[in-house]
Structure 1
């Protein structure tokens, strides 16, 4: 008499699957940019079906906008005294980028901008709104919006030089030295 194995029970954990899809999407978008990323590759890495990705996110653009902003360095680094803000932001940015392994919002924006400008603009707007909300808790003045945009542009420029193209003195600089330089330049933008 042969014993038949009981069929595996399917587990339904939509939040766990959604989290896996978002993590896979962050990796794929950061590695390839928006244009070359495929929903099928994201589904494969997440260990789900293409249809489940579409069920959770109606389009590749919606998935991109949901996945790429990821955890914010701002929620941890902005609160605190105003004078220490540049050092906190510089330290958190460098730590995050050094450990991101290529899967970071700034990298995704850069890689996506050339092919899908409207999507990259949507992501940049989302990052800008998140940044404005955080920095308005600490910075004051009529020019906060402009200063926050300058901070973003500065960090995106560093991202291109050090983490995307990885060429030149900025790319070769030890992380601690980068934190020092970045603290000084952010101080000018944020506080002066």
Structure 2
């Protein structure tokens, strides 16, 4: 028997995966408030009690469905002059080439009307954006600069991926990098940077 065979998922793991996929789809389509446990169970073709059995609550299921890693390149960039371009390139790769991008769609769609989702967005900011920005420029104003970076990235994500504004959707990666990269560079390095 070959040891290179993929491991088969248990029935329990298949059920959890099915629930999580259904939750991601419904949270991305309708936000936190618009997706019920009953709707998620129906999409996963299971009893609603199974959702609670595996995830304990809607909040816990949401937290798992909305996991998102921007994968910002703090340790990958040694040239401070290119951090803006590096961030926007990574952002585009993550949003347009990663299955985890659904997590941020879920968060953005839900955060405006749900405090739990808003807190998750703040967590992404505090744990993923701020530490990268703090590694550059003046540490005393890292929070302000990180907030500006987040405003740019979240604004772009909202316009391009949620609202799908035609002129923003039509922009090529090169056009976005050319226009957004320098703005991010200025935000990351701070006004005093040369």
TM interval, shorter chain, is 0.7 to 0.9
Q: 1:128 to 1:18 in 2, by over 3 A?
A: farther
Contact 1:25 1:68 in 2 (8 A): no
- Shift in Å, 1:78: 2.7
1:128 aligns with 2:130: no
Aligned to 2:172: 174
Aligned to 1:79: 75
1:149 aligns with 2:120: no
Aligned to 1:64: 62
- Shift in Å, 1:93: 1.0
User: Partners of 2:136 and 2:43 in 1: how far apart?
Assistant: 41
Size of the aligned set, in residue pairs, is 179
SS of residue paired to 2:116 = helix
What is the aligned-residue RMSD (CA, Å)?
2.9
Structure 2's unaligned 5+ residue stretches are 1-8
Aligned to 1:160: 158
Using structure 2 for the length normalisation, give the TM-score.
Answer: 0.75
- Worse overlay, 36-45 or 174-183: 36-45
Contact 2:22 2:43 in 1 (8 A): yes
